[in-house]
Amino acid sequence: MRVLVLGVGKTGKLVAAVAAERGHGVHVLDAKENQNAAALTPPFLSTFDVVIDFTTPEAVVQNLRACLATGAKVVVGTTGWYAKLADMRGLAERKGAGLLYGTNYSIGVQVMMELTRAMAEGLKGAGYTYSIEETHHTSKLDSPSGTALTIQKTLAAVDPAAATFEIVAKRVGDASGLHTLEARSDADRIVLTHEAFSRRGFAEGAVRAAEWLSSRSGCYDFRDVFAQVFGAGK
């Protein structure tokens, strides 16, 4: 499989390394080479099976417009752009392209989402209040993180009244990612925590997602397909 990686930040570099480890051909474009998505022409994109974007909220929408217009398959690891999701979904559907997006490509985080849902269902109406705290590196642009917002939305889907709180977001050094969900009552508390020791879990998930998407078209949320993604190509 030929993989085009957009973005050469710390996660983008690791995505390229993981893709190479898994036997794929890899080409990486940095922001200067791809200013305003200028490099993403149909002849160039046609040489790749899938595109993986780990750029910035400002760049990703232009990249998506250019790639999806050609019918390309795109995995997006960038967050902070979901106000344009409906537009990008429509473009992917019209062009027969593939779009897979997600706030977090770590299998551990996806399991935390399932545990969040189960906890909310079990505690609904039992007098618990919730809080979420997240910590990331200082260069992360969106705050709160997309993962923290997804945890909150997962709660809200089960118990809307329980999810009306502000998320505490911290930006510290080179922190890879820490998310903590607490449920507290007068009698006790329950805490769910996911701590990333490195960005490798995100990179591996994104590459697995690209392998999965390479033979498909349509628009997918990673949390809906992660079991299929991690079950394929082990």
End-to-end alpha-carbon separation of the chain, Å? Answer: 15
- Active-site residue, selected from the candidate residues 10, 84, 95, 140: 140
CA distance 168 to 165: 9
Alpha-carbon dihedral angle through residues 178, 184, 188, 194, given to the nearest 10 degrees: -20
Yes or no: say if 180 and 143 are a contact pair by the CB < 8 Å rule.
no
Active site residue 136: yes
- Active-site residue, selected from the candidate residues 73, 136, 179, 194: 136
Active site residue 73: no
Residue 137: DSSP 8-state:
-
The H or E element that residue 201 is part of is helix 200-213
CA distance 86 to 137: 29
β-pairing verdict for 73-76 and 129-136: unpaired
Which has the closest alpha carbon to 52: 103, 101, 108, 107? 101
Between 10-21 and 200-213, two packed helices, what is the crossing angle to 10 degrees?
60
CA distance 181 to 30: 35
Residue 209 burial class via C-beta count within 10 angstroms: exposed 0-12, middle 13-18, buried 19 and up: buried
The residues assigned a catalytic role are 136, 140
